[in-house]
Amino acid sequence: MSLLTCHHVTKRFGGLVAVNDFSFDVPEHSITSVIGPNGAGKSTLFNCITGFYTPEEGKVIFRGEEIQGLRPDIIANKGISRTYQNIRLFSSLTTLENIMIGMHGRLKTGIISAILRPPRTRKEERWALEESLRILELVGLRGKGDVVATNLSYGDQRRLEVGRALASDPKLLFLDEPTAGMNPRESDNLTNFIRELRDNIGITVVLIEHDMRVVMGISEYITVLDYGAKIAEGTPREIQNNPQVIEAYLGTSGVEGAQAALAGQEA
């Protein structure tokens, strides 16, 4: 069953069609990668789904409900969470505090209760702390709860981004270039972690990723964007052998280079 469907989504910036009549289905519990050259419209597509942009045309359907045009916080409360291409953490707050901020949509405490702190509020605070520690452990940052975010290694900051996104208890997680800037070991770790998340907590994952080794290793489905339009979709094997995809990745390195790049090998 598909958890999310995009139906003829178009997003324009002035004369530029950043996402062009895009449709796809994301099956529940799957891992799907969105790939394509720089400027292909991948991040814009994520922004249309998560409510940061309203598409001019088309529908985004999540669990049977149209969500295009809804506010990002409302979409987040429905069960869609995301990370950003550029890490967005509260850099002067601790690891644990960053995760607790990600939880706020799940808490009932309003401003009055936060001041009066009745037993119900204190109970919820305890629960939030326990839940945050659980997420910390889940993303492999146990023992680092008191570390100020800016002092974490780059790989750990990426993990914390995922932790913050998981704190809202999403059904569907969008990751925008989660391994960007990582060394091969860090990206292998993160890849395994993403797969475990899906296996262990049943979350559905859509990621934008440039590292073909990661893409081909982790994805069940791949969707290829070029100039805002979907040019191919299929399994990793189908994508590696798709002539249109090879052409989009040709560059200067020729067919063999493109095929090697798509296979995640050095040309």
The residue among 23 and 85 lying less far from Mg ion, judged by its C-beta, is 85
Kindly list the residues in this chain that would bind ligand ADP in the complex (CB under 6 A). Answer: 13, 16, 18, 36, 38-44
Give whichever of 141 and 224 is closer to ligand ADP, judged by the CB atom.
Answer: 224
Helix (H) or strand (E) holding 34: strand 31-35
Site string for Mg ion, 64-103 (x = CB under 5 A): ---------------------x------------------
Work out how close the CB of 176 gets to ligand ADP at its nearest, in angstroms, rounded to a whole number.
8
Q: How close are the terminal C-alpha atoms of the chain, in Å?
A: 38
Is residue 241 within 8 A of residue 256, CB to CB? The reply is no
114 makes contact, choosing from Mg ion, ligand ADP, none, with CB < 5 to 8 Å by partner type, with: none
Contact between residue 225 and residue 41 where contact means Cβ atoms under 8 Å apart = yes
Residues 21-50 that bind Mg ion (CB under 5 A): 43
Binds 38: which of Mg ion, ligand ADP, none (CB < 5-8 Å by kind): ligand ADP
Q: Which are the contacts of 100, defined by CB distance < 8 A and separation ≥ 6?
A: 128, 129, 132, 167
Q: Least CB distance from residue 47 to Mg ion, whole Å?
A: 9
Tell me how far the alpha carbon of residue 210 is from its chain's centroid: 13
Q: What minimum distance in Å lies between the beta carbon of 227 and ligand ADP?
A: 9
Minimal distance in Å, beta carbon 183 to ligand ADP?
Answer: 22
Choice between 47 and 242, CB closer to ligand ADP? 47
Whichever of 53 and 99 has its CB closer to ligand ADP, that residue is 53
121, 113 Cβ separation under 8 angstroms: yes
Contact 267, 256 (CB under 8 A): yes
- 61-73 burial, b at 16+ Cβ within 10 Å, e below that, comes to bbeeeebbebeee
Query: Can you give the binding site for Mg ion, defined by CB under 5 A?
Result: 43, 85
